[in-house]
Amino acid sequence: MIRTLEDARIEVALQPEQGRPEILEVRNPEDILPSSIYTHSILNLVYHAYEKIELKYGSILNLTREEICAQLKQQGLAPQTARRCADLFDDVEWQGTQLPLRQWLRTIRDHYHKQP
């Protein structure tokens, strides 16, 4: 069972049939999760944060990058990942562009998903 999932640290609990669980710390997410699953998890959290922001504030453009980062952290992203996603937000042309959310999600995907 994955117990903790943060940017540079993952804790995995191994539960033997008898006895106490053993906690292992894994430093590289790709050792436990393929990059596609790791990336999917990030994109899912970003999308849900976006939906909540749109409902509460009317538009994600009404928030600063710091506020977007805080919203991403509230949704469950690790601080470093939330910061990186908020930074990638600035790489998207939001005004007058068709489907800017899709572009932001693609930018995040391209950053985290390492193609073989």
Tell whether 100 and 73 lie within a shared domain.
yes
Tell whether 25 and 38 lie within a shared domain.
no
- 36-41 contacts at long range (C-beta below 8 A, 24 or more positions apart): 36/113, 38/112, 38/113, 39/108, 39/109, 39/112, 39/113, 41/5
Examine the pLDDT at 32 and tell me if it is beyond 70: no
Distance of alpha carbon 97 from alpha carbon 19, whole angstroms: 57
Q: The whole model's pTM is what?
A: 0.69
Tell whether 46 and 23 lie within a shared domain.
no
Q: Provide mean pLDDT across the span 15-37.
A: 71
Residue-wise pLDDT for 61-96, tens only, equals 899 999 999 999 998 888 889 999 999 988 888 777
Tell whether 73 and 90 lie within a shared domain.
yes
Tell whether 38 and 26 lie within a shared domain.
no
Tell whether 19 and 40 lie within a shared domain.
no
58 φ/ψ sector (left φ>0, alpha ψ -120 to 50, else beta): left
What per-residue confidence (pLDDT) applies to 30?
Answer: 60
Percent share of the chain, pLDDT over 70: 82
Tell whether 26 and 41 lie within a shared domain.
no
- As for how many domains the chain has, the answer is 2
Examine the pLDDT at 4 and tell me if it is beyond 70: no
Q: What residues make up the domain containing 17?
A: 1-30
